[in-house]
Amino acid sequence: MAGSLIKIDEEIVTSAVASVTLTGIDSTYDVYMVKINGLSPDVGENIEMRVTEGGTANPTANYDFAGKGLKTSGAFENNAGANKNQWDISDSNINPTTGNFNAVIYIFNANNSGEYTFITFETSQYAGAEVYGNQGGGVFTSASSVDGVLIQMDASNNIDNGTFTLYGLKK
């Protein structure tokens, strides 16, 4: 896989921001990958993601997703949403003091205006004395030309730290 990931865009957050936008998705690659490393929020909330079209986040109710939440306390959780205005990427609130959120998200069909955009995601986070994971997928049920993603915290809270990188997967 060495040499297969081509860095397209990267944002490094070191002070509070409302959201992070990664752009550069076009027809060059069939599959794109978003890597989130070391995200910590100012207030404990979930992580959300939207697609961008023409550089602007699309807030319409066209986001469907499902995931399986894993946690050290033992109980699995089913997470799902239909006709939402974003994908919920994290399984639970991230603790702003001890939290550290990481994710790998693959994006398919993004720049094909004749197809829906699909994602798969794998996440991990440490929140206090518990480790959480979330694995699942989603679809943006609008055939449009997606050119990026916007990542934000739920309830209009801020992202305090983290590295956000968009890669293209070489064909």
pLDDT at 43: 82
- Higher-confidence residue of 54 and 74: namely 54
Is the pLDDT at 92 greater than 90? The verdict is: no
Alpha-carbon distance values, 159 to 7, 24, 90 (Å):
22, 22, 14
Helix, strand and coil percent figures for the chain, each rounded to 5? 0, 60, 40
Q: Residues of the chain with pLDDT > 70: what percent?
A: 98
Q: What is the average per-residue pLDDT within 71-95?
A: 88
Q: Sign of dihedral through CA atoms 18, 103, 139, 143?
A: positive
pLDDT band at 14 (very low <50, low <70, confident <90, very high): very high
Is the pLDDT at 35 greater than 70? The verdict is: yes
pLDDT band at 107 (very low <50, low <70, confident <90, very high): very high
pLDDT at 44: 77
pLDDT at 32: 98
Is the pLDDT at 126 greater than 70? The verdict is: yes
Report H helices in 11-161: none
pLDDT band at 2 (very low <50, low <70, confident <90, very high): low
Residue-averaged pLDDT of the chain: 92
Instruction: Go through the domains of the chain in sequence order and give each one's CATH number.
Output: 5-169 (2.60.120)
